[in-house]
A and B are shown apart, each in its own frame.
Chain A
Amino acid sequence: MTEKWNITLRVSRQKDTENQHFDDFKMEVNPDEYVLDAVERVWAFMDRTLCYRHACHHSTCGACGMRVNGVEKLTCITPIRAVTSNGATLKVEPLRNFPVVSDLAVDMGAFYRKMEVVSARAVLPITEAEIENPATNWPQNDAQFLRLSDCLECGLCISACPVAATSPEYLGPAPLAAAQDVGIHRNPELLGIVDCEDGVWRCHSAFECTAVCPSFVDPARRIMALRTQVIGAKLGKLFGKA
């Protein structure tokens, strides 16, 4: 028999210029369902005015990022069992550091523009990809094969970053990780974009981006690697190798 839990879904609500408040929705759930399923149940059966973002339901589109009990999660792959218990309250809020459009939906426009500024790659040759646990028969040396970039552009890293909370112009973890992926050696213009006040040196090593990243990006590690790229490029210029 399917296990059933009774939970209270506490949802952040905010329309137009009103202040943030919370609405509680009591519901019966299967604890192996995902948090997004519970949010959708509110919209489908309880309150059609609830606004949230979602699309693929399998952690590819990166649209359903929210804060679940205060921590950034991709709600389509976060089992209810992992974040609450039977009879307890589950709080969902919009991502931090993005303007709230309505309820749980935020405006990601500025973030996407930053991804464009660093020429983030949507696909890349397998020969340039960092593969997690590659199969032994993986065509690692065949450049004709492409793969999607690991970054879902979900914005969880921006939401979790304490520096992004106070520096609107800061490029942020995902764009800096994307810049590292592109590489200054491939795109020398990146040096001027990331080697600045709001670039790679603004990171204060809180590592929250890596802690919440639902994919294999590890933005903090990439930011540190980008610093090495920047120093290498500047030393190269200094000694006339650029």
Chain B
Amino acid sequence: MNNQPSANKFWAWFNPMGRQVGGWAFILNRITALGLTFYLFLHLIVLNQLAQGPAAYGGFIALTENPIVKLGELLVVAAAIMHGLNGIRIIFTSFGIGVTRQKELFYGFMVVALVAILFFAARMYMG
């Protein structure tokens, strides 16, 4: 028979169709987690430039002034903030705090995330 649960259906985690606020938070946490994991590997590769000498590393650092690379850095900061605050919300609800207000908690934390992301964006592009 079909339609049974299966580990192969992990893609269903990312399907926003028919999901509600808690589901959106669940999806956001998975996307940001994957993004941060991808960044971690990228970071290790960049650090590896150090082993190839100061010139190679300095050349890469110069690349980080590129606006597109900066946008990538901002995405990393945004992912970290949203994932972290969403995680705090889950810690709260897991300890029975705000369980019946989880939607409001999510909205509240995402407003805080937006403010923080705008602050970092301003520092990165205008500071």
Contact = CB atoms under 8 A, between A and B. Distances in A.
Is the pairing of A and B real? yes
Interface of A: 14, 20, 67, 69-72, 94, 96-101, 106-107, 160, 162, 164-168, 170, 204-208, 210-211, 218, 220-221, 224-225, 227-228
Contacts of A224: 93-96, 99
Interface stretch (B3-11, B65-73, B107-115): B3-11
Contact of B26 (A166, A206, A210, A221): A206
Given A162-B12, A205-B94, A220-B99, A99 B2 contact: yes
A163 to B, nearest CB: 8
Given A166-B5, A205-B25, 6 more contacts: A70-B17, A166-B12, A207-B102, A221-B100, A224-B95, A225-B96
A96 B17 CA distance: 13
Closest CB pairs A-B (n = 7): A207-B22, A70-B18, A99-B1, A206-B26, A168-B5, A211-B20, A165-B12
Contacts of A164: 5
Contacts of B19: 206, 208
B5 to A, nearest CB: 4
A205 B25 CA distance: 9
21 contacts: A70-B17, A72-B18, A97-B5, A99-B2, A99-B4, A100-B1, A160-B18, A162-B23, A164-B5, A165-B12, A205-B93, A205-B94, A206-B22, A206-B26, A207-B22, A207-B102, A208-B23, A211-B20, A220-B99, A227-B94, A228-B95
